[in-house]
Every structure is written in C-alpha cells, then in structure tokens.
Structure 1
Amino acid sequence: MNELIILLPILLLSGVIAGLLAGLLGVGGGIVIVPMLYHIFIYLNIDISIAMPLAVGTSLSTIVVTSIISARSHHKKGGIDWVIVKRWLPFVVLGVLLGAYFASYVNGVTLKWMFGVLLLLVSTHMIMSSYRNIVIAKELPKFPGQQIFASLLGGFSSLLGIGGGTLMVPLLTLFSYPIHKAVSTASLFGLVISIPATIGYVLIGWNVPNLPVASTGYVNWLGFIALVPMTMLFAPLGVKLAYKLNVKQLKVVFAIFLAFVGIKMLLV
C-alpha cells in the first residue's frame, strides 16, 4: 500500500510531462517515459536488473494505445506512406522479434548504458536539426539498404522500449523524405513494434522475483493505467502551447536536458 501511495502520484505527473512534451516538441513515447520510469523504480529501491527492463516493457505497453490513436488520425489525413509500410513491414517485424529475443540476454546495466547512448544521439540530432536541415542523400537507398534499416529499426526499438518515431523520423529525413509523411508513417510502425515487443517483455519477465505491485513480467500495469490517460489528455495542450512559445529554443533546452539524463544513465 505504501508503494502504491508513492508510485501513483509520481506516475501521473510523469504522464503529464510526457504528454506536454509530445505535443509541444513532437517527442514522446519511450524517449521520455523510459528514463522517467527508470528513475522512479530506482527511487523505490527496485534493483537495476529489474528497474531498467521494467521501464522498457511498461513504456512499450503505453505505446500500443497511443500509437493506435495517432496512426488512425494520420491515416484519416492521408499521411501514411503505404508503399514504405508494405516494403518495411516484414523486416521491422523480424527486427522486433530479434530485439525481444536478445532482451532476455541483456542485463539491466547494459540496457541502461544503451539507452544513455541513445539519449545522447537523439539530443545531438535535435540540436543540429534545430539550426540546419541535415540531409545525406536525395532519396532512400535501394535494396538491401532499406531492408537493413527496417530490421535495425525494429530491433533497437523493441530492445529499448521506444516507438518508431524516435529512430524512423530522423532516419527518413536524412534521405530527404518529407517530415510530415515520416511522422505519419512512423506512427503506424509504433504499433507494429510495440505489440509484439510488449508481449516479449511480459514473457521474459514472467518468473522474475521481486517485481513491484501490479506487474506482469516486465510490464507494470499501474504505470500503464497512470501514464496513458495523462499523456493523451495533456498532448493537445502541448500542441496549443507550441503555437504560443518559441519551440526552437525549447527544443534545444530539452535536447540539453536529454543529454544530461543520458550522461547520468551512463555514469550512475
């Protein structure tokens, strides 16, 4: 009961922050939720070997719901590129299955280190893209380049508990792909990634002892129930604030914050 009293308000606040940032800066999903959950679990004296995979699995479970809503909205507006969906889908699924499989062999410390590196890479890209349009080619590579990209996208996303947008949007825009179509298409892949990856984290954590209350494997349902509604409620407010605030400056500030969080996860 004491654990519930401490955990629930913190989770609700985390959902508010994740929703605001998602609407305001176009970020969200695992890149915000995983480090929040990790630090909450560590604060509750949960061992790092459990805290990190539990944060990843719970993050993936929330992405299932939010990506369904997001993908439906983008589909109605005609933003999803179904050519890329058909071309990438089997390889993304293959990557997700491989990522979920390898997750059972990666310990919490290694997972934390990998996520710290990811935060630093995302932070660097956010800062650079705030000041210039970064492009390395005029079009996506031919076979087998795209298939390799799709497999790596699925693998790292399922392993680290992030939706498709965190990796897919920057990747596509590097090859002169329209940003709006990239965001729309990534929303669908968030669903493709999160469902099997969530199931994978439930299974690999099924018999793990000392899990916190309301957990099934490496998915904490209290976190799910608290985060999903708050994220959905406050994301529209973040969108409204985006039209009133200097988003470019906020994006840089948030990128610096992500860098500090990433460094902390690497060192502590």
Structure 2
Amino acid sequence: METLLIYLLVGAAAGTIAGLFGVGGGLIIVPALVLVFTAMGIAPEILTHMAVATSLATIVITSLSSIRTHHLKGAVDWSTFLSMTPGILLGSWLGGVTAHLLPGSWLQLLIGIFALVIAVRMWLAGRRHGQLPEDGGRLPAAPVLTGVGGLIGWASAIFGIGGGSLTVPFLSRCHVQMQRAVATSAACGLPIAVAGAISFTVQGWDDELLPQWSSGYIYWPAFFGIVLASTPFARFGANLAHRLSPQLLKNCFAGLLCVIGLRFIWLNAGLLLG
C-alpha cells in the first residue's frame, strides 16, 4: 500500500509539472522511479531501464488524451506527423535496443547530461522569447522529416520521454507556429512511446533480475499508479499555470532539471573520470 501511494505521488507530481511547464512528465517520472526502485532494492543493473520503460508506457496513455484535445482544436499538422512517424517508430525501437545494451550507470549518466542540456535550453529560450518568426512554412521534404523523426525517436526512447523537448524546438526552427508545433509534437509522442515501450518489453523479457509484475522492463504497479494520478493532476497544473508567471515557471523547472541532472552525473562521475 505504501508503494502504491508513492507511485500515485509520482504520477501527481509528473502530471502537475507537465501541466505547469508544458512538457511531458518523463523528465520527472524517470528520475523519481530511479529513486523508488533503488529504495525497493531492485537490481541496479536494471532499475534505470525499468524506470525508462515504465515512463514510456505511461506516455502511451497520457498522450492519447493530449492528442484528442489538440486534434479537436485543429492544431495537429497530420501531414508532418505522417512523414515523421516511420522514422520515429524505427528510431524508438532502436532506442530501446541501445538502452538495453548500456549499463545502468551509463544510462543514468546520459539522462543526467540530457536533463542539464534541456535546462539550459529552456533558460536560453526564455531569454530569446519572441525573437524567432513563426510563419508556418519552410518544413523540410518528407524524407528529411522521416530521418529527423528517427533521431528524435531514438533519443526519446533512451531517455524515457515523449520527445516534446526535441520535436517542438525542431518544428519551431522550421518556423512552424508554436501552437501547431506543440500539438504535432504531442501526436508524435504516441508512436515514440508505443515503439519504445514494446522494444523495452522485448529486450528485457528474459532478464532474471526482474521483479514480479513486470513485462520485460515495464513494471506494472508503477505504471498503474502513475497513470491514475497523472491525468487529473495535469489539468490542475495547467490551471495553476495561468495564475503564475510563465517565465518564472520555466526558470523554476530549469532549476529542478539542473538538480536532477547534476545528481545523476555526480553519482556516476567515476565513468567520466576513467
């Protein structure tokens, strides 16, 4: 019962932060599950892989609600989505394979570095806000979009995220209107999560270190607890965001990501020092 409560709290925190900051909860779910799985005594060789896989599985559910909302507003660019999806599916599958081949300590180190990069980018984006034009054009040709989708899917599966922190900046640089970039990125999160979760399930299926109630690296008690709490709290976070300063929120979240990133890097610094 105590463990279920922890998963509900993780889901509530991830949902609130997703609603507050307009990013997927994976950047919070993965570090939180690493802490929980460590406290549970799950083998360090697999606990980070389980955190990433379980995060991707939750994104499958939460992205469906997000896609429906954006679609009803007519904001999703489905032609761009269709061009990127073949690459996303292949890239996400390969991301699961890549993560499976990495030791847990290296995976944590990469997640820590990624969190720091996203934090710096959020801070810089806030300082440059309003400087880039948005005209809805200049997207690359379909083969290029497919290739970019592959890279985004690969990286997103490794880090256990829906790809919004990668897809939105890419589409924005192509001068896609921000609302359409966010909506299209939300749609792209579904194939990322589906292919990545399936890949992690297959890669970890026969691992003898897995605890009960696991399918490959996906741990179902954590999945259900997070999903139950994340959706309603995402609405709460979104409502709260309208009452607070957007720039202050971004700076606070960037600070949180810095703490997470530095902690993961510190715990695994020995890998960088030889």
Normalising by the residue count of structure 2, what TM-score does the alignment of the two structures yield? Answer: 0.90
2:74 is aligned, of 72, 75, 78, to 78
1:110 counterpart residue number: 106
1:254 counterpart residue number: 253
1:169 counterpart residue number: 168
Identity of aligned residues (%): 36
Shift of 1:143: 6.7
1:17 counterpart residue number: 13
2:189 counterpart residue number: 190
CA contact (8 A) 2:80 2:145 kept: no
- Comparing 219-228 with 171-180, greater Cα deviation is found at 171-180
- Comparing 42-51 with 66-75, greater Cα deviation is found at 42-51
Q: 1:178 to 1:136 in 2, by over 3 A?
A: closer
Q: 1:143 to 1:82 in 2, by over 3 A?
A: closer
Alignment of 1:127-138 (within 5 A): 127-133=123-129, 135=132
- Comparing 256-265 with 168-177, greater Cα deviation is found at 168-177
Q: Distance in 1 between matches of 2:133 and 2:151?
A: 19
Amino acid of the residue matched to residue 188 of structure 2? F
Q: Distance in 2 between matches of 1:69 and 1:88?
A: 20
- Comparing 55-64 with 124-133, greater Cα deviation is found at 124-133
Alignment of 1:31-70 (within 5 A): 31-70=27-66
- Comparing 35-44 with 210-219, greater Cα deviation is found at 210-219
CA contact (8 A) 1:206 1:217 kept: yes
Per-residue displacement from partner, 1:106-147 (whole Å, max 9, x unpaired)?
A: 221121111111101110111111221365998444575433
Normalising by the residue count of structure 1, what TM-score does the alignment of the two structures yield? Answer: 0.92
Shift of 1:178: 1.3
CA contact (8 A) 1:20 1:231 kept: yes
Per-residue displacement from partner, 1:6-32 (whole Å, max 9, x unpaired)?
A: 421211111111111111111223111
What's the Cα RMSD here?
A: 1.9
Q: Distance in 2 between matches of 1:135 and 1:206?
A: 46
Q: 1:222 to 1:143 in 2, by over 3 A?
A: closer
Structure 1, unmatched stretches of 5+, are: none
CA contact (8 A) 2:84 2:147 kept: no
Amino acid of the residue matched to residue 193 of structure 2? S
Amino acid of the residue matched to residue 201 of structure 2? V
Q: Distance in 2 between matches of 1:86 and 1:15?
A: 30
Shift of 1:253: 1.3
Structure 2, unmatched stretches of 5+, are: 268-274
Amino acid of the residue matched to residue 245 of structure 2? N
Q: Distance in 1 between matches of 2:142 and 2:85?
A: 14
- Comparing 93-102 with 9-18, greater Cα deviation is found at 93-102
Q: Distance in 1 between matches of 2:169 and 2:43?
A: 33
Q: SS at 1:104's partner residue?
A: helix
CA contact (8 A) 2:15 2:25 kept: no
